[in-house]
Each structure stands twice: as C-alpha cells, then as structure tokens.
Chain A
Amino acid sequence: MSKGQEKDIGSREQFEERVKQLGLSDDTLIGVYRTMCTVRHFEYMADKLYAAGKVHGTMHLSAGQEAVAAGISMAVCPDDYLINHHRGHGHFIAKGADINLMMAEFLGKDTGYNHGRGGSMHIADFQSNNLGANGIVGGGIPQAVGVGLALKMQKRKEICVCIFGDGAANEGVFHEAMNMVALWKLPVLYVCENNKYGMSMDVERASAKLPLAQRADAYGIPWACVDGNDVVEVYDAMKTAVEHIRSGNGPYFVEAITYRYFGHSKSDRNLYRPKEEIEDWKQNRDPIMRFTKHLLQSEILDEGQAQEIDAQAEQVIVKAVEFAEASPEPDVSTLMEYVYA
C-alpha cells in the first residue's frame, strides 16, 4: 500500500458554517477536544502499564477511534443508557465515567467499578446508566432490545445507545435484534463502530456487502454511514438519529468508519495489516489531529491552549494511575461475594 495523502479537512469557513448550523458552541467543541485527549492518554497509559507488567489480563484499546465515542456523547443525554463492546474505554470516558474507578478496575483493584471482578472488558456503572461492556462479540446487541422495551413500557424519554463492532454485525443475534427493535419501534440507537478489522479479519473479507449499515434497510431502519474520524460528522449523524428516536419514531442505525492503532488485544502482532496502512491512518486521518487543526484554524484555541488541555488530560490519567496503584487488591476472603447460586 502506498502512503496515503493527508485528509483534506476543508476550509475554515466550511467548518464554522457547519458548527454554527449544528449549534455547537466553542465551549462544547473544547470539551469534545478534552474528551478525545483524555481517551487517547488513557489508552496509551494502558499500553504502558501493560508493558510494565502491571496488568493481569487483556485489554482492547481504542486509540484512533476517539471521535466515535466523543461524537455520540455530544448527541445524547447523560441519563441515556449505554451498552457497548469490549473495546469500551473511550465510550465510558465520553459518558463521563470516573476515570479513577476505571483505572482501578483495569488494574483489578477493589476500588474499581466492579471491585476487580470484571477488568477492562466488563466495566459498568449502573448509577450513570452505563450497563456494561460485553466480552461476547454481539452479546449486547439483543439486550438493547430489552432496554428499549423497558423504556417504552415505562414511558420514559431516555434512549438506549448500543455500540458494537464490524465483527459483531455478522453474529446471528444482530439480525434477530434488528428485526425486533424495528418491529416494536424501540428507542434504540445502534452504532456500528467499523474499525475495519474483527480481530484480524478484514471487514471486506468477512461481509458479503458493504456498507454494513445498509443491512438496516432490510428491517426498515433508517441509517447513515459516516466518517468516524470526523467528530463533527459523527455528531451530525448522531444528532439526527437521536432526534428521530426521541420523537418516538423507533430505532436508527449509524455506521462510523474508523481505525484502531493498537492490535486487537495484547497478543496481537499486527501480521494481518501492513505497517504502512497503520501509519497512513495515524499520519493522515487521525481524529484528534484533524479536530485540533479545525480548532486552531478557527481560532477557538491557540497552540498553547491546545497543548495545555492535552497536558491536563494527561494529568487526569496520571492521577488515576496513582489512585489505582495506591488502592487495595480485593481481599481473597471476599471471593464468594455476589454469589447466590
């Protein structure tokens, strides 16, 4: 593969016109930038901690995919429900999770969200309606039907956002759930975070017809397929989707095309994709780099301010590691807690 060209981000005027149309204030845009920086630092720190031998289990890092998580969080309300997949750190941070508790869970500590029972792959925070990441590919997709059903029965205004990967779209439950969610017109936003690979399997080798989102047509669900590395484009699609759902029109499907920088998990040696491809995405299409350029070009931030926010985000992660490392391990005597059968 030849080295690609830097993605043209468009003119200052185009960007400003777009954010104006979408009603996005400077503060919102700066907040989104901060979120994306925080996710990026969390993921690189996770990798570093793993390399230092401090992580007991596996991890699935979302560096490169930050705009999807951030774009969703801009469009939904804090009380909306979230069901996501194993590569979920970014979604949690964007939903406003306590990063100390996340990091503690990642390191298996008693102070973590799950008291060290879940680890990276199963972080959940029921107080903030984050119903948890799923280690079974596609496992959460049909559960969103139940969440949507309960929201409808309870006549509530919240919606359920269910995020899954391109690999999960080929699980049988995907089709069962799409049918039922459409049949019952449930308030569910399905987001397919297509990072091009299901572990090592290229989406083009795994799926008979692309884009994946057009499968929604079979169930009469409106859909969009967007550049998942353009946070404003992601937000634009999510906003339309959320408005559609909240007005009682039933589900919506958005596919966001993105790319992960790290391997699938800790054992991945990236044998299935060329280094040039990874570098191309990093150098030319990075979601944070592109968004930063917009913010600088439109003078929403200057270089110094952008660096300061990034440094602050890094500090949040450093502090979270300090918190987690100082936290106690779960006592072995508590092994049988939360067991009823």
Chain B
Amino acid sequence: MPEITYLEAIRQALWQEMKRDERVFLLGEDIGRYGGAFGLTHGMLDEFGEERVLETPISEATIVATAIGAALLGMRPVAELMFMDFVLLSLDQLANQAAKMHFMFGGRATVPMVVRMPGGSGSGAASQHSQSLESVLMQFPGLIVVNPSTPYDAKGLMLSAIRNPNPVCFVEHKVLYKTKGEVPEGDYTIPIGVAEIKRPGRDITVVANNVMVMKTLNVAEKLSKEGIEVEVIDPRTLLPLDTEAILKSVARTGRLLVVHEACQTGGWAGEVIASVVGSPVFDYIDAPVRRLAGKDIPIPYNRGLEKSAIPQEADIEQEIRALVEGRI
C-alpha cells in the first residue's frame, strides 16, 4: 500500500470524489492559483477548473453561507477555512444556520456540506492561528465534528463527510499534514461516529484526538517495553462521540486518561469523563479518571512557551505512570 502524507490523503479524497461526483466543488481563500495556504489543493485548479475550485474573497461568513445555499440546492460543497481560528468569523452560519436547518425545518431540509479547517499549535503561528476549537463546535447539535489523526482515517473520513447529507466540520491539524501513513489508492470510507482502538492494551485507556494520538502511541510503545500496556482510543468523530467504545475499553482496563490539545476548561475530555463516571463502568475503575489538556491560555509564539502550552509526550508518560502505579 502506498505511503502518503495526511495532507496528500485529504487531497486524494477530494480529487477522487470530484471525479466521481460532479456535484462536489471546493471554495475558499487562495485555494486556486496559490494551491491553498498549506498547499492542500495544489494542482486542483488545473484539473477541475475555476468553476469547481472557486477562489473566494476573504469573507469567511459568506464562504460558509455560500456552501449552505448551494447544499440546499443539492450541491456538495467543500469549503476551506484557512485556519480553524477563522471559523469564529463564520460561526453564525455554521451554528445558527447549517446546524439547525434539518431539525428546525422539521426534517424537510438537508445541508450536505463539509467545512475543512486546520487547527492546532506547533507551527509558531501564535494566538490567533493555533487554536483547537473542536470542543466549541461540539456545543451545536446538528454539526458533525470529524477529527482524523492518520492519513488513512483522513481520506476515509473525508469521503464519508462529503457523502453525508448533513454539515460536517472536518478538523485537520497543521502538525499532522506532513506525517505519513499507508493509504489505499481506491475508494473506501470510514463511518462517522465510530471510534477506533489504535493500540490495544490491558492497563489503561487513553482517549486522545489528532496530534495527541500520535504522541500517545509513541509513549505507549515506550511503556510497553516496561510491561505497561496502554490502550489508545481515537474517537475520530467528536460529535457524535462513540461513548460506547470508550466505556467498553474502560471496563476492561479500569483506568482512564483523556488527552487533548484544546484548552482544558470546557474541553471535550470533561464530556468523556462524565460519561464514564456516570455509567455502571464506574464500578470497574481502579484509579482516578484524569485529563491532560492544553493550558487555559492563548497559544504563545515562542517555541518553548508554545510547547509548554499543550501536552507533550513526557507529560503523557508521567500521567500514565502515575495512574498505573497508583500514585494518584
């Protein structure tokens, strides 16, 4: 199976789906001649032309609204927001409009659209270009929030997202763009709302998303050599969240740690923990349930400060050891 990057996997999904379904089109800032701020849509303008790779003015609210209007008429728009931070400029259209339409109109409207948005820190982009806002987006019933951590998942989830009849926020991570993995060349989908056990283990369940999956897997590999077996679960979709898969895992391991880059306060780790603590699985738990999240601060510019603002592998390792060894 060919190895390609996370960025190439998303491009491949878009490319193949545009070939397969003429209703699919892209819109966003600098996605044409420039090829996208991160180069994700490179080459697509030449292949599909200006009508299907639609370069827009810097008007994030209307980019999303345009996707909504076109989706209502049966098109399958995929909008790009250059940085996830800019979703806040279009939040009325996403949260008050797209998310509500199917329900508010009594099931008579569907809004099949995808909004791509790269989030996360690690690129020195500072406070307004580094946020992880996925927990914010989970507060709007009607918005599907997808958050792949591997090239394989990115392609399969993108194909599912475009084919889904409802609005999907497709949250990417800038640091993952260059990571590589095996990706089938053909067509395949990964179901929305289904978590995956990225590594099985008996001692502790760690639920992590996007870049934290990679970090946790590295830690798990290291700890395995010492006989600590970590089960790593990637929800892949944050809304709807596959709580069942998490509960099953925790029932086996008896321990839970949730790791995310998003700020701790109001972050989705709290949601996972609440669903575990409030369930019969709580009886199987041998240690405090913990979360390790981004600090409640804006992301700073300086490299050292930036790293310290979010969980690093050493932090994850320390937490796991403390929980497994019963020191907390």
Contacts and interface: CB of A to CB of B under 8 A. Distances in A.
Nearest to B58: A176
A112 B75 CA distance: 27
Nearest to B74: A150
Interface residues of B, number: 42
Nearest to A116: B106
A187 to B, nearest CB: 12
Contact of B97 (A143, A144, A151, A154): A143
A337 B141 CA distance: 12
A189 interface: no
Nearest to B93: A142
B105 A146 contact: no
Contacts of B102: 338, 340
Nearest to A180: B62
B66 A115 contact: no
B105 A118 contact: yes
Contacts of A62: none
B144 A139 contact: no
Nearest to A183: B57
B104 to A, nearest CB: 5
B228 interface: no
Contact of B69 (A124, A148, A154): A148
Interface in A143-161: 143-151, 153-154, 160
B108 A145 contact: no
B73 A154 contact: yes
A95 B106 CA distance: 20
Interface string B139-167: 00111110000000000000000000010
Interface residues of A, number: 45
B61 A173 contact: yes
B77 A146 contact: yes
A83 B65 CA distance: 12
B106 A115 contact: yes
A146 B69 contact: yes
Nearest to B96: A136
Interface string B48-80: 000100101101011001111111111101000
B284 interface: no
A132 B101 CA distance: 9
Given A124-B108, A144-B69, 9 more contacts: A81-B73, A116-B106, A118-B105, A124-B109, A131-B109, A139-B97, A143-B69, A146-B71, A150-B74
Closest CB pairs A-B (n = 4): A146-B69, A142-B65, A114-B106, A150-B73
Interface of A: 81, 83, 112-118, 122, 124-126, 131-132, 134-136, 139, 141-151, 153-154, 160, 172-173, 176-177, 179-180, 183, 337-341
Interface of B: 25, 51, 54, 56-57, 59, 61-62, 65-75, 77, 92-93, 96-97, 101-109, 141-145, 166, 193, 239-240
